Homo-oligomer: A and B are copies of this chain.
Amino acid sequence: MAKTPVRTRRSGSQLSPEAIIEASLRIAARGSQDAFTVRRLGEELGADPTAIYRHFRDKDELLLSVADRAYGEILEGIPDGLGWKDRLRALADGSLRVALKYPAVASITASRTTRRINEFRLVEFILGAVTEAGLDGADAALYYRAVADALLAYVGQSAAYVLFAPEIRAGDESSWAREYRMVDPARFPGIARLGTELAQVSAEAVFDVRVEALIAAIEARAASPSEDATRT
């Protein structure tokens, strides 16, 4: 029936949760070239599309498992021996890298919670960084959430973007060079004056600014822990 499969795997089974997760990652790695659908997944596995429902309750549960596997890939890419700032930077870079590697997974999972092993490891990783920065208690929890939410949001947004059809993406990207260059300078003086600079901003630089802003906020908070965290 539609029940969570037991742990005892039968030897005769062709499929397994691990094999399904890996096939999902293979499909997701092809980005917008290959849709991450149940039928396509069955094709990749050489099995009936509905066979995966014997190993996962629904596609959502599969997606969370796949995402957790991706979380592990992020953690593996972070070297040891770094200070808390460089650990957070490495985490940000790795998250973006993995999210762009599996955009279909990242774009859907960005506002979810996997509640699986590698998510625990990631939480512990961030908590360790903010603790080393000098935060503790409610402050550590608050700034952990700020870091985690910001990373997930940005990374998910970037993933959703690369997942768009090329023609849509081309239209969005060229807008800075087209529509934004033709605006009425009287109504929009700022856009008219900075049109060239706006078209030249790189996504990497923006990502950098946002990561460094968070790190600076953590540092500032650790320096004055008694004040209230909210706006003055």
Contact = CB atoms under 8 A, between A and B. Distances in A.
A129 to B, nearest CB: 10
Interface string A159-179: 011001000100110010001
Copies in the complex: 2
Interface stretch (A20-28, A41-49, A138-146): A138-146
A194 B123 CA distance: 11
A208 interface: yes
Interface in A10-43: none
Contacts of A209: 142-143, 146, 217, 229
Contacts of A127: 190-191, 194
Contacts of A140: 190, 194, 197
Given A154-B153, A168-B60, A146 B213 contact: yes
Nearest to A204: B230
Interface residues of A, number: 66
A65 to B, nearest CB: 15
A116 to B, nearest CB: 9
A162 to B, nearest CB: 9
A119 B148 CA distance: 28
A134 interface: no
Interface in A76-115: 89, 110-113, 115
Nearest to A218: B213
Interface in A184-232: 187-191, 194, 197-198, 200-201, 205-206, 208-214, 216-217, 220, 229-231
A198 B153 contact: no
A111 B217 contact: no
A72 interface: no
23 contacts: A60-B168, A111-B161, A111-B164, A113-B172, A138-B200, A141-B197, A141-B201, A142-B205, A144-B194, A145-B198, A146-B206, A146-B210, A146-B213, A149-B157, A149-B206, A150-B153, A150-B210, A156-B157, A209-B229, A211-B231, A212-B231, A213-B213, A213-B214
